[in-house]
Amino acid sequence: MGVVFGTFSMHTKQVTFRTDNVDDELEMTMVCHRPEGLEQLEAQTNFTKQELQVLYRGFKNECPSGVVNEETFKHIYAQFFPHGDASTYAHYLFNAFDTRNDGSIKFEDFVMGLSTLLRGTVREKLEWTFHLYDINRDGFINKEEMTEIVRAIYDMMGKYTYPALKGDVPKQHVDVFFEKMDKNKDGVVTLEEFVLACQEDENMMRSMQLFENVM
């Protein structure tokens, strides 16, 4: 699972952080939005203070104001998928990070989500994925929502990644997995159904965590 944001990137299997001898907390006063103190974020995430300093410097380089709006997020994300259209997936991903629902991602939002994706338990990662797929935030995933996300991923990866797709592959993909997830056949998938199905089926786990390969 690779994670990229702007010009800095990390790979979950071999994350290398470089510690600069700078007072990042002092520099936080220089931006429009001042994040929570690093000690507090260290307590709330699975990152060390030194790792948070590196993440903050990268975030600030891309977002000098201390916040990123959706258009900026889409622009940054599109650079990493030149052969496809990343705008729709970036929209849904932005909403998943925008936990305050105020149309912006602050450093705290970004690092809290990143902590879950990089260092969280399997359960935590699946819960985060569920909320990504739950587009209308009603606590359930319906087939249309799942299809929207999967189709957005295929569109983003582009024709060079999937040159020989025939038919509506995203829909076919969703039909198979939705059938397995919707245990009581009521037309929606709950968080518990989602987690249980993914834990029971390794292929489903990989497929539902497609976001891990496109972060």
Q: In this structure, is residue 79 part of a structural domain? A: yes
Q: Are residues 134 and 193 in the same domain?
A: yes
Residue 112: the pLDDT is 95
Beta bridge partners of 4: 9
Residue 200: the pLDDT is 92
Q: In this structure, is residue 135 part of a structural domain? A: yes
pLDDT in tens, 154-188: 888 876 665 555 567 888 889 999 999 999 999 99
Q: Are residues 127 and 195 in the same domain?
A: yes
180 touches 197 (CB < 8 A) = yes
Domain count, the chain: 2
The mean pLDDT of the chain is 81
Q: Are residues 127 and 57 in the same domain?
A: no
CA distances from 208 to 129, 146, 181, 198, 199 (A): 8, 9, 11, 8, 11
- Residues of the domain holding 126: 122-214
Using CA atoms, how far apart are residues 92 and 107, in angstroms rounded to an integer?
Answer: 18
Q: Are residues 114 and 126 in the same domain?
A: no
Q: In this structure, is residue 203 part of a structural domain? A: yes
Residue 1: the pLDDT is 33
Residue 73: the pLDDT is 93
Residue 148: the pLDDT is 95
Q: In this structure, is residue 31 part of a structural domain? A: no
What is the pTM (predicted TM-score) of this model?
0.78
Q: Are residues 79 and 100 in the same domain?
A: yes
pLDDT in tens, 115-161: 999 999 999 999 999 999 999 999 999 999 999 998 998 888 876 66
Using CA atoms, how far apart are residues 102 and 86, in angstroms rounded to an integer?
Answer: 22
Q: In this structure, is residue 4 part of a structural domain? A: no
Q: Comparing C-alpha atoms, which of 76, 80, 81 is closest to residue 94? A: 76
For the chain, the 3-state helix, strand and coil shares in percent, each to the nearest 5, are 55, 10, 35
Q: What CATH number did the domain enclosing 185 receive?
A: 1.10.238.10
Q: Are residues 134 and 201 in the same domain?
A: yes
